Amino acid sequence: MSPPHVLILGGGFAGIYAAKALRKAPVQVTVLDRRNHHLFQPMLYQVATAGLNPSDIASPIRSILRGSDNTEVLLAEAEAIDVAQREVRLGDGTAISYDYLIVGTGARHSYFGRDEWEPLAPGLKSLEDALEIRRRVLLAFERAEREKDPVRRHAFLTFVIVGGGPTGVEMAGAVAEIRRYALRRDFRHIDPAEATVMLLEGGPRLLPSYPESLSTEAKRELRRLGVEVRTETLVTDIRPGWVCAAGWTIPTQTVVWAAGNTASPLLKSLGTPLDRMGRAIVEPDCTIPGHPEVFVLGDAAHFEPPGGGTLPGISPVAIQMGEYAARTIEGDLAGRPRRAFSYWDKGQLAVIGRGRAVADIWKLHFGGFLAWLVWIFVHVFFLIGFRNRVLVLLQWAWSYVTYRRGARLITEEVRPPVASS
């Protein structure tokens, strides 16, 4: 009899950690992803702001799992899950059957039903997203340099980031820094330091999942970098050339969306209840009701811990869930009863700029340079693959000393800017 087949959808944190933990288990593992690389998403904003290269924060899934002899990696797109037949249908019409299914398909940005905003305000989830945002930010400075009309020039030099969660805070800080330091001497007709960076948050404070003192700290640090932070400012419309928020109109050519997430549409085919964000509502063992062989993990899961609320969509949750699912499958095969998943909260970190961050670790709340150092070490430590760690540290050290950013490339031909209205 052949060993049970564990099919893992998605090579993100949940999927990779599950596959790694199953390395020695008596199972056959397949990891399926439509991209060939695992992405260290928490640092994606560094690619979007020209601080790091794509390959610094991404590794081929095959090479991460090359030591797992029971594991196969497939580059393919899952179209639907058939829990009754226990199979996953692929984009090319074929199907793969499973004994256990682990769904770690992550999330995309959500525009709250205003999908027409997407081309005007791209979000930040994939390498392609990051390269597109990098292209737009760098091109905006280029166009401002050539623009004679001061009103239009000002719009090119206005960067609006929508959403005050960790991604929005990190993006705003990073754009404020390249404007002030990296690009300082590059232009002749504009002063990049005069560019406006706005961070718009609909709720009452930044970093709503953090303790309130850190929200205040983050706001203060961002203001020190010259970011205009506006809370209670809901975006009501985005059009080519401007953003409408809280009753006024901001002329801008560059908008980044960091305001909302929605889980992968693939989950709909599970036929299980989903929450408002499209996540599958899972049992205490991270499986869907009636299907103990189907795990849904990470950003795709709506998990209610005993204390109430839901677990946030951050990488430590996904990693712990991935390892938990692997342990549970091994336990099943060994005939051990299942235990509920419990999340060990090690804290949260957000970086604001060069030498500035806020941290909430084991009930300690702190900001400034120390938090930033902790952030660097935690993030570099988790970067998968030794080569990346060393190169990323070197690149940061270099850019810290010189204030320069190395990956300032606009790839793709010059396109006309989004027309101003």
Q: How far is the CB of 279 from a second copy (least distance, A)?
A: 23
Question: Is 330 in the active site?
Answer: no
Q: How far is the CB of 308 from a second copy (least distance, A)?
A: 39
Rounded to 5 degrees, what are φ and ψ at 101? -120, 130
Q: How far is the CB of 115 from a second copy (least distance, A)?
A: 18
- 191 is an interface residue for a second copy by CB under 8 A: no
- 5 is an interface residue for a second copy by CB under 8 A: no
User: 175 with 161: CB under 8 angstroms?
Assistant: yes
| Site residue total, a second copy (CB under 8 A) | 51
- 285 is an interface residue for a second copy by CB under 8 A: no
- 333 is an interface residue for a second copy by CB under 8 A: no
Range 49-88, binding a second copy (CB under 8 A)? 53-56, 58, 60, 62-63, 66, 72-77
The CA distance from 200 to 205, in Å, is 10
Task: List CB contacts of 227: < 8 A, sequence separation 6 or more.
Answer: 172, 173, 176, 197, 198, 199
Range 360-399, binding a second copy (CB under 8 A)? 387-388, 390-391, 394-395, 398
Question: Within 13 Å, how many C-alpha atoms sit on residue 400's CB side?
Answer: 14
- Helices 315-333 and 13-21 pack at an angle, to 10 degrees, of 30
- 239 is an interface residue for a second copy by CB under 8 A: no
Q: How far is the CB of 418 from a second copy (least distance, A)?
A: 15
Residues in the chain, how many? 421
Instruction: Closer to a second copy by CB, 139 or 282: give it.
Output: 139
User: 15 with 322: CB under 8 angstroms?
Assistant: yes
- 406 is an interface residue for a second copy by CB under 8 A: yes
Tell the burial category of 45 from Cβ atoms under 10 Å away from its Cβ (0-12, 13-18, 19+): buried
The CA distance from 211 to 27, in Å, is 43
Binding mask 142-171 for a second copy (x = CB under 8 A): x--xx-------------------------
Say how far residue 3 (Cα) sits from the centre of its chain: 35
Instruction: Closer to a second copy by CB, 53 or 310: give it.
Output: 53
- 338 is an interface residue for a second copy by CB under 8 A: no
Q: How far is the CB of 96 from a second copy (least distance, A)?
A: 11
Instruction: Closer to a second copy by CB, 106 or 168: give it.
Output: 106
Q: How far is the CB of 398 from a second copy (least distance, A)?
A: 5
| End-to-end alpha carbon distance in the chain | 67
Vertex 85 angle, CA 7 and 79, to 5°: 60
In three-state secondary structure terms, 375 is helix
Stretch that binds a second copy, among 11-19, 307-315, 339-347, 410-418 (CB under 8 A): 410-418
- 223 is an interface residue for a second copy by CB under 8 A: no
The CA distance from 327 to 298, in Å, is 16
The CA distance from 19 to 323, in Å, is 8
In three-state secondary structure terms, 300 is helix
Range 32-51, binding a second copy (CB under 8 A)? 34-37
- 403 is an interface residue for a second copy by CB under 8 A: no
- 132 is an interface residue for a second copy by CB under 8 A: no
The CA distance from 224 to 85, in Å, is 57
Instruction: Closer to a second copy by CB, 146 or 223: give it.
Output: 146
Task: List CB contacts of 83: < 8 A, sequence separation 6 or more.
Answer: 101, 270, 271, 288, 291, 294
The CA distance from 239 to 121, in Å, is 9
**From 170, 177, 217, 323, the catalytic residue:** 170
Range 89-118, binding a second copy (CB under 8 A)? 91
Instruction: Closer to a second copy by CB, 275 or 412: give it.
Output: 412
- 410 is an interface residue for a second copy by CB under 8 A: yes
Instruction: Closer to a second copy by CB, 23 or 114: give it.
Output: 23
In three-state secondary structure terms, 231 is coil
Task: List CB contacts of 113: < 8 A, sequence separation 6 or more.
Answer: none
Instruction: Closer to a second copy by CB, 79 or 304: give it.
Output: 79
Q: How far is the CB of 134 from a second copy (least distance, A)?
A: 11
- 131 is an interface residue for a second copy by CB under 8 A: yes
Which one-letter DSSP state was computed for residue 182?
Answer: I
- 409 is an interface residue for a second copy by CB under 8 A: yes
Judged by the rule CB under 8 A, the positions of this chain that interact with a second copy are 34-37, 53-56, 58, 60, 62-63, 66, 72-77, 91, 127-128, 131, 138-139, 142, 145-146, 185-189, 387-388, 390-391, 394-395, 398, 402, 404, 406-414
Q: Would you name the residues annotated as active-site residues?
A: 170
